[in-house]
Amino acid sequence: MNSFNYIELVRPALPEIFLALAVMALLMLGVFQKSGTEAAAADSARLVTGLSVVTLVLAVFLVGVDARGRDEAFCGMFVTDPFAVFWKILVLIGAALTLVMSGDYLVRKGLARFEYSILVLFATLGMMMMISANDLIALYLGLEMQSLSLYVIAAFQRDDARSSEAGLKYFVLGAVASGMLLYGSSLIYGFSGTTNFNDLAELFYAGQAQPPSIGVIVGLVFILSGLAFKVSAVPFHMWTPDVYEGAPTPVAAFFAAAPKLAAVALLVRVMIGPFGDLLPQWQQIIVFISIASMILGAFAAVNQRNIKRLMAYSSIGNVGYALIGLAAGDETGVRGVLIYMAIYLFMTLGTFACILAMKRGDRMVEEISDLAGLGKTHPMMALALAIFMFSLSGIPPLAGFFGKLYVFLAAIEAKLYALAVIGVLSSVVAAFYYIRVVKVAYFDDPVQPLDTPVNRSIGVVLVLTATIVLFFFAYPGPILTGAAAAAASLFGG
């Protein structure tokens, strides 16, 4: 077999191969850089971070230029299609923006080490493998590559007790979730004889007279439980508030953005691909998880005083809204999930950029009460924060309104009226704590003003995300068109 044939065989996975090689090269670069002093370590970290951002941008280009329909590699265990392309681009953008706004924080906290960027890249590589998984074994490999990196960066601030606690909690609960996922996969294999998604889809084709065995249903429940942990959906959400609060703020931003999107993409692919014709068996589980996540995300955040914990409960609620589209189980519902999560990415990263920009001396501001008077002392920062809070509330004409609109319409088309009504009511309750942040920023008297300078890189992220959220209604084409094509590809369109 000549070299051209080898290239054609692995061509669908070229972005992942490029990213893997780049990570190894950057790892060696970081190792051989002089880092004897804190200043030298910071310089090494800046160099590796800058090259990591460039690597992620090039990976976006590689993913986008080679989108030629559906292709498989590695004996059908890896697939690339418009669905995978859409999610990979979002994940790569999320990882790149997180790295961009992390640098100044890590330097100030004495955490500027090149390993941070390497771990983010390894986690991103795992996410890309998850999104393109076409086999239960490939799914687990990608998931564990992502998770092992996230366990480490959750505890990256190792001298801080909260960060160490966050990493330990995430590791222990993540191991339980991985065990549940593996057990479910073993049941599926034992009762079906295959782990390949294509073979499973043929085996469970709706036209067959024989219903799935009880072992398959139990295995599916265990797989759903493991994946629900990864998207931090109720009742597998317990790690989220503590990890978001304890982990360094850039890490919490990363957790809320890229890994969340990759996990939702994996959940949608697994449910719609191999188990799409078993909709009656898993739909009620998704409906329950969606309702529970929306309600808990709305009510549990009301009494939060720490803005990172508030964002943790917000992310739980947002997953609940996204799962409304998956519960619909059709192309319209999946398109709603895609649109919602794309908008969620920019709203969340923008909010965390605001949190990262707010400090008082050497202390990061995390309490909502510390934002008092922000509208008077830092009007542009307060405006950006208000844009993201109103968008998360779902107030038109901001992007968050359209994200919720598409998933609610999908639920109505699927005749899931109760789910849509509960979603609307939960959104109204959640609006209370989002708007309370705006009220504190604009109407409370400042006690002690925050520092004025905003890091340039954080400013870039703020401007970019705020512009997308604010003017989405004027130019929604790229996201809507990409989401429609991605959803159609998952249903064989």
Using CA atoms, how far apart are residues 89 and 251, in angstroms rounded to an integer?
20
Binning pLDDT at 50, 70 and 90, where does residue 338 land?
very high
Across 96-119, average pLDDT: 83
250 preceded by cis ω (within 30°)? no
- pLDDT > 70: percent of the chain: 94
pLDDT at 57: 92
Considering its fold, how many domains does the chain have in total? 1
* More confidently predicted of 85 and 37: 85
Question: Which structural domain, as residue segments, surrounds residue 74?
Answer: 3-490
Q: Taking a C-beta distance cutoff of 8 angstroms, is the pair 391, 469 a contact?
A: yes
235 preceded by cis ω (within 30°)? yes
Question: Which residue shows structure tokens 């889809």?
Answer: 201
Q: Taking a C-beta distance cutoff of 8 angstroms, is the pair 377, 454 a contact?
A: no
Side chain identity, residue 238: M
Side chain identity, residue 323: L
Helix (H, G, I), strand (E, B) or coil at 348: helix
pLDDT at 306: 86
Using CA atoms, how far apart are residues 358 and 349, in angstroms rounded to an integer?
14
pLDDT at 452: 59
Across 307-325, average pLDDT: 91
Q: Taking a C-beta distance cutoff of 8 angstroms, is the pair 334, 326 a contact?
A: yes
pLDDT at 493: 58
Q: Among the ranges 103-107, 155-159, 209-213, 333-337, which has the highest mean pLDDT value? A: 333-337
Q: Taking a C-beta distance cutoff of 8 angstroms, is the pair 70, 489 a contact?
A: yes
pLDDT tens, 276-298?
888 888 889 999 999 999 999 98
Alpha carbons within 13 A on the beta-carbon side of 231: 27
From residue 335, give the alpha-carbon distance in Å to each of 17, 181, 326, 469: 29, 26, 9, 19
Q: Taking a C-beta distance cutoff of 8 angstroms, is the pair 225, 236 a contact?
A: yes
From residue 347, give the alpha-carbon distance in Å to each of 112, 293, 419: 26, 19, 24
Across 25-49, average pLDDT: 79
pLDDT tens, 168-211?
888 888 888 889 999 999 999 998 888 888 888 888 875 565 67
pLDDT tens, 341-400?
999 999 999 999 888 887 766 677 778 888 887 888 788 888 888 999 999 988 888 998
pLDDT tens, 59-79?
999 888 766 677 887 888 888
pLDDT tens, 404-443?
999 999 999 988 899 999 999 999 998 898 999 889 888 8
Q: Taking a C-beta distance cutoff of 8 angstroms, is the pair 67, 85 a contact?
A: yes
Check the CA dihedral 71-74-76-77 and report its sign. negative
